[in-house]
Amino acid sequence: MKYEVEPDKLLYALISSWENGNATCGKLSVERRIKTRNTAIFLITKDSKVAAQLKISKNFLEQTDSLKRFRNTALPRRFLKRKASEGPVHIEDLKRGMKHVSLKAKVL
């Protein structure tokens, strides 16, 4: 979502990296750092900057519906809700302590 990568392509890059050690997915580079019998740690970078490091089980990569189940979790829903809520807001939506707020007002 953040790096505009299709989840299916990222999954295939992770599988390829599991087998070969390295893979690319768009502008992202996937490197397998540590591999055990059942898990591996992957480093995902973009332009030599770390985007993520994660531990994934072999079982997760072997399941074809693992991404479909992930899409139903709260993380993508929170991201989509946040993207949908961007735009004009009302003064009543402001809270004490908020930073980086631009305010336009019309005096009636």
Per-run averaged pLDDT (10 residues), the chain, 108 residues: 77 90 91 92 92 90 69 56 61 76 78
- Rounded to an integer, what distance in angstroms lies between the CA atom of residue 99 and that of residue 108? 26
What's the pTM?
0.59
Rounded distance between C-alpha atoms, residue 19 and residue 34, angstroms: 12
Pairing relation of β-strands 49-57 and 39-46? antiparallel
Whole-angstrom distance, CA of residue 40 vs CA of residue 58: 8
User: Any idea where the domains of the chain sit in the sequence?
Assistant: 7-93
Question: Chain-centre distance of CA 61, in angstroms?
Answer: 17
Give the residues across from 104 on adjacent strands. none
